Structure 1
Amino acid sequence: MRKTFGTGSVWEQTLGYSRAVQVDNTLFISATAASGLVDGKQAIVGDDFYSQTKYILEKLGAVLEDAGFSYEDVVQSKLYLTDISKWEDAGRAHGEVFGEIRPTLALVHVLPFLDPQMLVEIELVAQKSA
């Protein structure tokens, strides 16, 4: 069984990807940035690593829920950071959500994203018990 989940973003159509893809009991969620509505306009939410990570994880919680999963089902988390020296700030927000769940984790230092205000992207894999 393969099912795709989208947000209706123009980027999903242009680049040919899905926000998430479920294959059997596993959900793969694309790297997600802190983009959202600010004063009615699409913008980056938060101006530091902690606030962007927190916002992204809230967004991903909704993606998980939409697909019938939860944070407790997450088995792998990847944080892409434009400044690796800020790993503790991003890690604190990550730990607030996953402290007891403890999925695998990768902290990856990357070059700046297309939008220089984007500091963090997060990618998740979730799996339900068979």
Structure 2
Amino acid sequence: MTSTRIKKKIANHGVAWEQAFGYVQAVQVKDTIYISGQLSHDGDGKLIAPAALDAAGRPIDFNQMEDQIRQTYVNAKKLLAEFGATLEDVVEETLFVLDVPSAFAAGSKVRKEMYGTDTPPVASNLIGVSELAFPEQIVEITFRAVVDIPTAP
């Protein structure tokens, strides 16, 4: 029996939760790059624009949605660059959000800004969820990109 393994290239941010949960931020298999759910953190893993929480540990409001979405795209761009890719290579994204109306308003603005066009050529999903990995986080975005791989002559 012949066994062939799929060659994978991986990338991480180097934040603590990668090791704690045991996963990589991005993996490329052939021409496709799969990016794990991205959060709005800086290079040290500190959350950017964390939501204020009530006594029960739930977000009080969703005013930070735009800033969190923007930083999440910044983090995705860093990962894509590890593979020589950009947002232009993204074909699908999924936004997991705690509040759909605020995410729709903020996301429509930030997506146009990040992709540099009023109609990004990206299949997009916006899904409301009850909670995310960190209580202060109100949005998480996954990405899938496809890149051209030169063929051997």
* TM-score, L = length of structure 2: 0.75
Q: Which residue of 2 aligns with 1:94?
A: 111
User: Quick check: which one's helix share is greater?
Assistant: 1
Q: Determine what percentage of the aligned residue pairs are the same residue.
A: 24
Aligned partner of 2:91 in structure 1 is 75
1:53 aligns with: 69
Q: Which whole-Å CA distance do the structure 1 matches of 2:92 and 2:42 have between them?
A: 24
Amino acid at match of 2:23: Y
TM-score, normalization by structure 1: 0.87
1:89, CA displacement in angstroms?
A: 1.1
Match of residue 65 from structure 1: 81
User: C-alpha root-mean-square deviation of aligned residues, in Å?
Assistant: 1.8
Shift of 1:82: 0.6
Equivalent AA in structure 1 for residue 126 of structure 2: L
Query: How many angstroms does 1:42 deviate by?
Result: 4.4
- 1:84 matched to 2:100? The reply is yes
> How far apart are 1:68 and its partner, in Å?
1.0
User: Which moved further from structure 2: 41-50 or 114-123?
Assistant: 41-50
Distance 1:42 1:33 in 2: 9
Shift of 1:74: 0.3
- 1:45 Cα deviation after fit: 0.9
> Which ranges of structure 1 fall in alignment gaps of 5 or more residues?
none
Looking at structure 2, the residues matched to 101 and 90 of structure 1 have their Cα atoms a distance apart, in angstroms, of 12
Residues 4-59 of structure 1, C-alpha deviations (whole Å, 9 max, x = no match): 1122222212222101000011100000111226xxx7432125111111111011
Larger radius of gyration: 2
- Bigger strand share: 1
The range that moved more, 87-96 or 24-33, is: 87-96
Give the distance between the partners of 1:97 and 1:17, measured in 2 at CA: 26
- Identify unmatched segments of 5+ residues in structure 2: 1-6, 52-63
Q: Name the residue aligned to 2:40.
A: 34
Q: 1:43 aligns with which of 39, 42, 46?
A: 46
Determine helix, strand or coil for the equivalent of 2:121.
coil
Partner of 2:4: none
SS of 2:85's partner is coil
Q: Matched residue of 1:22: which SS?
A: strand
- Tell me the matched-pair count: 127
Whether 2:109 is the aligned partner of 1:107: answer no
Whole-Å Cα distance in 2 between the matches of residues 15 and 42 of structure 1? 14
